[in-house]
Amino acid sequence: MKNPTTTERTSDRELAVTRTFNAPARIVFEAWTRPELLKRWWSPKSFGITFVSCEADARTGGRYRFVFSHPAAPQPMEFFGRYLEVTPHSRLVWTNEESGDAGQVTTVTFEEKGGQTRVVMRDLYRSKEALDAAIASGSTGGTGETFEQLDELLGGGSVGA
């Protein structure tokens, strides 16, 4: 059985995603920091997203650049930034610079307990307004069927992948 993924707006300007993996932290950490592995899971098939390129120099100060394509997007989508902290098997911090300097900072922590690893990913926005704006523009949202359905019902704006 798959472990549940939970999402929560933990404060005015922070969003957290939590998931437990049935493996030690060093293994999970490896899958987050080696580009050839990252590439295999970061663009889920069920979402129709494919990697055009995936560069990740997972060292403190190193940079990353992910380029994706999606059938509904006329242009490839680019995401890039810098690793502010890479502490093996326990912590990753990176910036998100594709929309300028005011992007959110992502912190991922890996906590191992009894052979399992709890991963918590936190996106900290500069302000409440910045997170509200990201939500309003749908910049990071997925395209689940339920989601589209709700969006359509509400006559909402675009919700990109």
Contact 110, 21 (CB under 8 A): no
Is residue 40 within the footprint of another protein (CB under 8 A)? yes
Q: E-strand spans in 2-89?
A: 6-11, 14-21, 50-56, 63-69, 77-87
Q: One symbol per residue from 46 to 65: x for binding another protein (CB under 8 A), - otherwise; what is it?
A: xx------------------
Which residue among 17, 84, 105, 124 contacts another protein (CB under 8 A)?
A: 17
Is residue 156 within the footprint of another protein (CB under 8 A)? yes
CA 6 to chain centre: 13
Contact 117, 111 (CB under 8 A): yes
Residues that bind another protein (CB under 8 A): 2-9, 11-12, 15, 17, 19, 21-23, 27-28, 30-31, 37, 40-42, 44-47, 121, 132, 135-136, 138, 140-144, 146-147, 149-151, 153-156, 159, 161
